[in-house]
C-alpha cells in the first residue's frame, strides 16, 4: 500500500471551506482499497507540458460563479475530446429524429420576453432528436442507457436548442470531467468492446472513484434506462436556466417534457431479447406511430423559482447531480410538443442536425451550473469538428426559419453569396449592412459576480448521497428490486473485485438494505466499509413523482397487442380480441407460422403481419394465443411458439388464450394466473394488458 503522502488523487473533487483537506480521493476510493500500487507517478500535464494542479474542477470566478474563458486546461482538454472522432458523434451517435411543432398554452410574459414563451396559441416548428449515449450509430436501440432528448425550436427570434436527457440529473458536477466520464463508459480502448454498455470495468472503476455520480447511478440502474418506447419517456433540461422579463428581472427555470402516453419500461431480459429480434425497435416504433397518425405528444412544463427560494433548498440547484422535486417547486404546464413528420432524408436531417445549448433567444439566459458552462463551449466545438465547417448553421436542418444575417464571411462550404463592399461593423460605407439592435437584441441577466477565482467546488456541492437515497426510497418495491438486480448484473461483469467492493461501500450510504442485497448477489464474503462522505447524508422525504411504475397510465393507447394464430384458428375470437384492443387504442399485429397468414376454421385466409420466427412476443405489450387443437399440437414442437408464450409470461404480460392456446401454455409449462385470461373475456384481457403482472415476477426470476 502507498504511504499516506503518496496516495492517488483519483476521484478528488475539491469543495469549499477546506472540506478537501483530507482529500476526497480517500473518500471516493473507500479508504486505501483503490490506491494504485507502486512508486511516484508522472505529473499530469497539458499538451504543452505544463503540470496540472487540479484536473477535477474548472476555473470559476468564485465557488458558485461562472466558468472563466481563461481556463486553458479546460479548453485544451475538451477541445481534444471534441475532436477525437469524425464524423460520427462521440456520444449520442444512435439517434431518431422527427419534425413537429410546439404550441404554447399558457404565457410566461411575467417572467420572460421570449416570444415562444409568451404568444399563446402560436405554433413553432421544431426538430426533436432522441438518442442513446454510449453506443455508436450502428448500435442497438434498447441497451440500458440514458436517452438524450434534444429539441430545436425554430422561433421567430432565432433558434433555441433545449438539449437534455430523459433523466433530470447527470453523472458529474463539472464539465472538465466529461471527457473522463465518456472515456470510461465507451468501449475499452485496448479491446474495442463492449459496445453501448456500462457493464464493464472502466465505467465502474471511474464511478467508484466519483462519489458525485451516485445519484445518477440510481437513475441509470432504474427502469428509466430501458424504456418501452421513445414515445414513453420524460425529457429534462437538466440544468437551471434563467428567464428575463421586460424589466430585466430574472427568474430561475427548469424545463420538463412529460409524455401524453405516460411512462413505460421493459424488463431487462426483455430488452436484451428485443435487441436480437429488432435492433431498430425504438426507431421503428416511432416511425410506425407517425405513419399511422398516432403522433407522439409531450406536455411542456416549467419549474420557476427565485434566488431567495433557491437559498432555502437543502441542496444547490446549480449542482447538475441534483434535482428539484415537484413537491418542492410544482410543475407548471405551459405548452405541448407534437411530433408529426418523419425526416425526408435520414442523413441530411437526423445525422446533420447540430444542437448547441448556447443557442438561446432573448428572454432566456444561462445559470452558473459548471456543467452547463462547459457545454456552452464544448457543443459548438464538437459541431465544428463533426460537420467540418463554421458554416454548419447553413445546412437546412440547422438554419433558422426567421431572417438572419451578419458580417461573418467565407469558410469551408459557404453557401451564401454575400454582396456588398463591407464585411465589418461598425462601418459608414453601407446603408443596409446588419447593425446592432440594442432595444430588442439579446441581453444577458444583470448579475453581480464577486469572489476569489480558483479551482474549487462550492461547499454546497459536497452532498453526494442524500438525493440518491431519496430516489431509491421513493421507488415501489418492484422498482427497488430492479435497481438492486441491475447493480448485481452490471457489477458481475466487472473483473476487478476491489471495484465491486468499492461500489457496495458507496451503496451503504444510499441504503443499507440495497447494499446488502447487492453484496449478497455478488457473493461478497464480508460487507465492505463505506467511504467517508464529504457531507452528512440527509434524510429527505420520499417522492412518488420519482417512480416509473407508480406513474404508469391506465391505458393501452400507443401499445401493441400480438395475436398468435395458425391454421384452424377461430376467426370470431380473433375478431373480438382485435376489436377490443383497437377500441382501447392499441395496435394489433397478427402473427402466424408463415408470413402469408393462416387458413381459419371457416376456410377464410387471414393475412399475417409477420412470421412467428421473426415476431417474438418481446415485440408486444400483451399477447393473445388463438389456436385450434391441431394448431396447438403443430406448434407444440415449434421452439419459437414455446418461447412466444414462455417469454410473454416471463416478461409479466397479459395473455389471452382459448382452448388451443391453453394447450400450448401447458406444453410450455406456463401456469395460469390473474394475467392469463379467457380469450372470450375481452374486458378482462384489456384490463390486464394495461399493466404488467408485477406479482408474477417473484415466481419467474430471482431478484436481488
Q: Active-site positions?
A: 92, 165
- H or E element that contains 236: strand 235-236
Residue 182, φ and ψ in degrees, nearest 5: -70, -40
Q: Which of 538, 211, 250, 463 is nearest to 368 (CA)?
A: 250
Kindly report the three-state secondary structure assignment for every residue of 133-153.
CCCCCCCCCCCCCCEEEEEEE
C-alpha–C-alpha distance, residues 366 and 66, integer Å: 10
Length reported for the chain: 704
C-alpha distances out from residue 354 to 77, 385, 430, 665, Å: 21, 11, 33, 50
Q: How many CB atoms lie within 10 A of CB 618?
A: 27
- Look up residue 643 and give its DSSP letter: H
Cell matching residue 390: 463554421
Question: Helices 512-521 and 477-492 sit at what angle, rounded to 10 degrees?
Answer: 40
Provide the pairing of β-strand 123-132 with 147-155. Answer: antiparallel
> Beta 655-657 vs 676-678: how paired, if at all?
parallel
Cα-Cα-Cα-Cα dihedral sign, residues 96, 163, 356, 220: negative
CB 491 within 8 A of CB 518: yes
- Distance from CA of residue 221 to its chain's centroid? 12
Q: What is the phi/psi pair of residue 501, to 5°?
A: -65, -40
Strands 560-564 and 587-592, sheet pairing: parallel
At residue 385, φ and ψ (nearest 5 deg) are -75, -45
- Which helix (H) or strand (E) covers residue 488, if one does? helix 477-492
**Residue for cell digits 433567444?**
361
Planar angle of CA 440, 442, 445, nearest 5 degrees:
120
User: Scanning the structure block, which residue is given the C-alpha cell 402516453?
Assistant: 261
- Could you check whether the bond before residue 701 is cis, i.e. omega within 30 degrees of 0? no
CA 276 to chain centre: 22
Amino acid at each position: 500500500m502507498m504511504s499516506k503522502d503518496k496516495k492517488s488523487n483519483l476521484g478528488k473533487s475539491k469543495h469549499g471551506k477546506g472540506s478537501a483537506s483530507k482529500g476526497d480521493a480517500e473518500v471516493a476510493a473507500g479508504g486505501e482499497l483503490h490506491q494504485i500500487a507502486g512508486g511516484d507517478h508522472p505529473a499530469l500535464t497539458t499538451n504543452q507540458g505544463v503540470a496540472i494542479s487540479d484536473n477535477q474542477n474548472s476555473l470559476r470566478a468564485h465557488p458558485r460563479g461562472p466558468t472563466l474563458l481563461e481556463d486553458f486546461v479546460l479548453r485544451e482538454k475538451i477541445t481534444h475530446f471534441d475532436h477525437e472522432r469524425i464524423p460520427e458523434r462521440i456520444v449520442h451517435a444512435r439517434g431518431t429524429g422527427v419534425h413537429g411543432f410546439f404550441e404554447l398554452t399558457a404565457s410566461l410574459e411575467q417572467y420572460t420576453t421570449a416570444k415562444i414563451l409568451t404568444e399563446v396559441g402560436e405554433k413553432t416548428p421544431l426538430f426533436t432528436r432522441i438518442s442513446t449515449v454510449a453506443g455508436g450509430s450502428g448500435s442497438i436501440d434498447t441497451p440500458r442507457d440514458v436517452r438524450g432528448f434534444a429539441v430545436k425550436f425554430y422561433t421567430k427570434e432565432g433558434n433555441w436548442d433545449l438539449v437534455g436527457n430523459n433523466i433530470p440529473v447527470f453523472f458529474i458536477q463539472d464539465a472538465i470531467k466529461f471527457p473522463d466520464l465518456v472515456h470510461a463508459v465507451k468501449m475499452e480502448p485496448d479491446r474495442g468492446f463492449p459496445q453501448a454498455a456500462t457493464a464493464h470495468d472502466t465505467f465502474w472503476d471511474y464511478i467508484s472513484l466519483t462519489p458525485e455520480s451516485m445519484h445518477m447511478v440510481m437513475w441509470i440502474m432504474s427502469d428509466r434506462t430501458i424504456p418501452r418506447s421513445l414515445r414513453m419517456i420524460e425529457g429534462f433540461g437538466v440544468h437551471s436556466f434563467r428567464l428575463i422579463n421586460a424589466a430585466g428581472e430574472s427568474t430561475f427555470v427548469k424545463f420538463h417534457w412529460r409524455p401524453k402516453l405516460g411512462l413505460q419500461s421493459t424488463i431487462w431480459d426483455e430488452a436484451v431479447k428485443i435487441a436480437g429480434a429488432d435492433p431498430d425497435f425504438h426507431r421503428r416504433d416511432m416511425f410506425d406511430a407517425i405513419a399511422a397518425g398516432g403522433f407522439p405528444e409531450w406536455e411542456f412544463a416549467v419549474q420557476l423559482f427565485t434566488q431567495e427560494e433557491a437559498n432555502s433548498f437543502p441542496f444547490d440547484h446549480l449542482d447538475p447531480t441534483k434535482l428539484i422535486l415537484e413537491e418542492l417547486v410544482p410543475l407548471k404546464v405551459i405548452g405541448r410538443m407534437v411530433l408529426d413528420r418523419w425526416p425526408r432524408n435520414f442523413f441530411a436531417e437526423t445525422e446533420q442536425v447540430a444542437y448547441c445549448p448556447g443557442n438561446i433567444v432573448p428572454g432566456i439566459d444561462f445559470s452558473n451550473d459548471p456543467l452547463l458552462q462547459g457545454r456552452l463551449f464544448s457543443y459548438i466545438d464538437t459541431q465544428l469538428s463533426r460537420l467540418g465547417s463554421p458554416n454548419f448553421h447553413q445546412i437546412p436542418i440547422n438554419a433558422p426559419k426567421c431572417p438572419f444575417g451578419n458580417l461573418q464571411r467565407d469558410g469551408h462550404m459557404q453557401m451564401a453569396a454575400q454582396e456588398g463592399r463591407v464585411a465589418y461593423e461598425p462601418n459608414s460605407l453601407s446603408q443596409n449592412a446588419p447593425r446592432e439592435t440594442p432595444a430588442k437584441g439579446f441581453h444577458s441577466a444583470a448579475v453581480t459576480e464577486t469572489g476569489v477565482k480558483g479551482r474549487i467546488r462550492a461547499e454546497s456541492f459536497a452532498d453526494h448521497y442524500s438525493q440518491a437515497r431519496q430516489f431509491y426510497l421513493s421507488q415501489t418495491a418492484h422498482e427497488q428490486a430492479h435497481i438492486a438486480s441491475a447493480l448485481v448484473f452490471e457489477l458481475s461483469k466487472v473483473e476487478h473485485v476491489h471495484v465491486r467492493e468499492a461500489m457496495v461501500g458507496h451503496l451503504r450510504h444510499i441504503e443499507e438494505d440495497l447494499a446488502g442485497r447487492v453484496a449478497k448477489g455478488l457473493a461478497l464474503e464480508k460487507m465492505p466499509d463505506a467511504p467517508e462522505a464529504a457531507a452528512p447524508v440527509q434524510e429527505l422525504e420520499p417522492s412518488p413523482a420519482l417512480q416509473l411504475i407508480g406513474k404508469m397510465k391506465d391505458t393501452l393507447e400507443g401499445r401493441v397487442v400480438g395475436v398468435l394464430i395458425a391454421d384452424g384458428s377461430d376467426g370470431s375470437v380473433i375478431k373480438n380480441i382485435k376489436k377490443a384492443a383497437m377500441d382501447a387504442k392499441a395496435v394489433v399485429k397478427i402473427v402466424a407460422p408463415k408470413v402469408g397468414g393462416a387458413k381459419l376454421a371457416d376456410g377464410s385466409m387471414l393475412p399475417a403481419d409477420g412470421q412467428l420466427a421473426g415476431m417474438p412476443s418481446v415485440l408486444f405489450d400483451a399477447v393473445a394465443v388463438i389456436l385450434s387443437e391441431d394448431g396447438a399440437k403443430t406448434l407444440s414442437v415449434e421452439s419459437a411458439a414455446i418461447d412466444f408464450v414462455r417469454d410473454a409470461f416471463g416478461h409479466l404480460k397479459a395473455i389471452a388464450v382459448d382452448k388451443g392456446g391453453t394447450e400450448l401454455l401447458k406444453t410450455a409449462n406456463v401456469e395460469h394466473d390473474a394475467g392469463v385470461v379467457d380469450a372470450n373475456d375481452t374486458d378482462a384481457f384489456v384490463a390486464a394488458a394495461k399493466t404488467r403482472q408485477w406479482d408474477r415476477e417473484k415466481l419467474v426470476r430471482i431478484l436481488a
